Amino acid sequence: MPQHLTISNLDIIRSLKLSCQIPDFLEAIAFKKIIAEVAQEAGIQVEEEEIQKESEKLRLEYKLVKAQDTWNWLTKHHLSLNEFEELVHEKVLHQKLANHLFSTQVERVFYERKLEYIAAVTYEIILDDRDLALELFYALEEGEVTFQEIARLYIQEPELRRAGGYQGLRHRKDFRPEIAAAVFAANAPEILKPISTQKGVYLIWVEEIIQPKLDEQLRQKIITELFSAWLKQQFESLEIFTQLDSDTNLQPQNELLQQV
């Protein structure tokens, strides 16, 4: 086995092609070009202070506490310090343009889609037999058994069994339609009457229904969703030309993607 291995730019591009990643790769490049062009038209600029603040945020996110940690991370990702600053610049520009375009639409979207943002904390057990599910449901109502005791007996997956069937906090879209209707109509905390589906019979304990609040986290989530949809729309309306050669996969002296 060789002690040294050389990987060229052509190898990287060919690997991207053979792993069918080129469409996503080109889309990401196009998004950056669209953002840069629209931000320039809108007069949006990134200040040095914003780059510094976002750089510190990224270092915390990647646990780059020491200077050596940062250099090791840059080396691993084949980035120079200037390229890291470019990465940060693009991230800040992305955020500023998203807020510029959609911050005024957040409240309208929140109230229009409020039902989508309601969340529920649930525990679930899926059974094969509806009669058994009904028997367990009535036993739960009578206080003869706890949900956790049933979970230990009827859930096969070890981690889920140990958690008592805990599903976490989920939104309406995360449930099957027939289950969502029952869950979000519940007077939590409440055990739901067994629900039959193609997957099985669900026995569900709705622990809590959480009404949405338009806090900063949800505000940014809505802006991100609107901006992502807008970027997709812009991308799909473009005619994209790539300089990928059929024989060599790429002409290295040229840019990978040229927007016309």
Residue 58 and residue 184 in one domain? no
* Same domain, yes or no: 196 and 243: no
Residue 136 belongs to what domain range? 119-210
Q: Give Cβ neighbours of residue 13 (< 8 Å, ≥ 6 apart).
A: 244, 249, 250, 256
Longest dimension (CA), the chain: 76
Task: Pick left, alpha or beta for residue 244 (phi over 0 → left; psi -120 to 50 → alpha; otherwise beta).
Answer: beta
Task: Indicate if 13 and 63 belong to the same structural domain.
Answer: yes
Are 41 and 169 part of one and the same domain? no
- Verify that 74 and 19 share a domain, yes or no: yes
Q: pLDDT tens, 96-154?
A: 999 999 999 999 999 999 999 999 999 999 999 999 999 999 999 999 999 999 999 99
Same domain for 222 and 203: no
Residues 159 and 194 in one domain: yes
How many domains, in total, are found in the chain? 2
**Same domain, yes or no: 192 and 247:** no
Residue 164 inside a domain? The answer is yes
- Same-domain check for residues 91 and 134: no
Residue type, 197: T
Distance CA 148, CA 191 (A): 12
| Per-residue pLDDT tens digits for 37-49 | 999 999 999 999 9
Q: pTM to 2 decimals?
A: 0.74
| 24 and 103 inside one domain | yes
Q: Is residue 192 part of a domain?
A: yes
Do 157 and 37 fall within a single domain? no
Whether 2 is covered by a domain: the verdict is no
Any domain includes 114: no
Tell whether 113 is covered by a domain: no
pLDDT digits (tens, 9 = 90+) for 12-55: 889 989 999 988 988 999 999 999 999 999 999 999 999 999 99
Are residue 143 and residue 233 in the same domain, yes or no? Answer: no
User: Would you give the DSSP letter of residue 241?
Assistant: E
